[in-house]
């Protein structure tokens, strides 16, 4: 299936831990993104990579770090997790201004 | 400040009825406006994309309108089905940057 797939779907972890969320797309898109959906349901962009190069880096706490080993993968590493990091994180990819495709989301709960 | 506001926040309608969701935006410079459907526990899925010059676009029972002068858009759903129950999100794309500004969504519940 052509898709944007992210793992895990659910992640429950303790404060202070380090965790990663993985994202892969097989659509051949050049650009990948990480979005955060907060409790009010707003989706806000965190990072965007184009062909492994960082092009958007919004005001995100510096314990978040994206890594793109190739243009089909964009992983999100989170160090020293905080309670406020609890949210649903969506990976997405696009080719040009249209054709955004989102993953199914990763629900992160920090306890 | 780039913002997208949607109304109503939530809506309950009977199966078979029509409904219209509203979106106002202050995004500039404007590139395009999209409507997404997000089912519970899933990522958003695109319904329509409209550029500045388009004022209506349909996708099956979904029809979106855009008034770029007043910066308003609407999504009309015809003959609603139970499967239309979801959050509908208005998203405006900022020109020159691949950046999307999301509304908070309208939660639609269709009941039998």
The rounded percent of chain A whose pLDDT value lies above 70 is 96
Confidence of residue B98 (pLDDT cuts 50, 70, 90): low
Q: Any chain B CB within 8 A of the CB of A41? A: yes
* Residue B31 banded pLDDT, cuts 50, 70, 90: confident
Please, what is the average pLDDT of chain A? 90
Residues near B53 by Cβ (< 8 Å), separated by ≥ 6?
A: none
| Average pLDDT value for residue range A70-99 | 90
Give the distance from residue B97's alpha carbon to the nearest chain A alpha carbon, in angstroms: 8
What integer pLDDT is reported at residue A98 of this predicted model? 65
Of the candidates B28, B17, B31, B22, the residue with the CA atom closest to the CA atom of residue B77: B17
The stretch B36-44 carries a mean pLDDT of 90
pLDDT of residue A97 exceeding 70: no
* B24-27: long-range contacts, CB 8 A cutoff, minimum separation 24: B24/B71, B24/B72, B24/B73, B25/B71, B25/B72, B25/B73, B25/B90, B25/B92, B25/B101, B25/B103, B26/B1, B26/B2, B26/B71, B27/B2, B27/B3, B27/B71, B27/B92, B27/B93, B27/B94, B27/B101
Residues from chain B that touch A33, judged by Cβ atoms under 8 A, are 98
Q: Which of B27, B29, B43 to mutate to test the interface with A (most CBs of A within 10 A)?
A: B43
Of A40, A97, A104, the CB nearest to B43: A104
Residue A88, pLDDT > 90, answer: yes
Q: How confident is the model at residue A57 (pLDDT cuts 50, 70, 90)?
A: confident
């Amino acid at each position: 299936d052509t898709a944007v797939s992210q793992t895990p779907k659910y992640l429950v972890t303790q404060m202070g831990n380090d965790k990663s969320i993985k994202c892969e797309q097989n659509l051949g898109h050049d650009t990948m993104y990480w979005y955060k959906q907060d409790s009010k349901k707003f989706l806000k962009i965190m990072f965007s990579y184009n062909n492994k190069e960082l092009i958007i880096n919004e005001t995100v706490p510096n314990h978040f770090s994206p890594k793109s080993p190739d243009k089909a993968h964009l992983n999100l590493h989170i160090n020293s997790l905080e309670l406020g990091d609890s949210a649903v994180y969506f990976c997405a990819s696009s080719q040009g201004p249209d054709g955004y495709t989102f993953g199914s989301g990763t629900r992160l709960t920090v306890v | 400040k780039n913002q997208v506001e949607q109304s109503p926040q939530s809506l309950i309608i009977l199966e078979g009825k029509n409904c219209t969701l509203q979106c106002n935006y202050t995004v500039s410079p404007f590139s395009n406006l999209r409507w997404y459907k997000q089912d519970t526990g899933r990522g958003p899925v695109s319904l329509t994309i409209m550029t500045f010059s388009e004022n209506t676009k349909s996708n099956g029972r979904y029809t979106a309108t855009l008034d770029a002068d007043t910066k308003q858009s609407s999504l009309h759903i015809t003959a609603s089905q139970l499967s239309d129950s979801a959050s509908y999100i208005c998203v405006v794309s900022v020109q020159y940057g691949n950046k999307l500004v999301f509304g908070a969504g309208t939660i639609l519940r269709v009941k039998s």
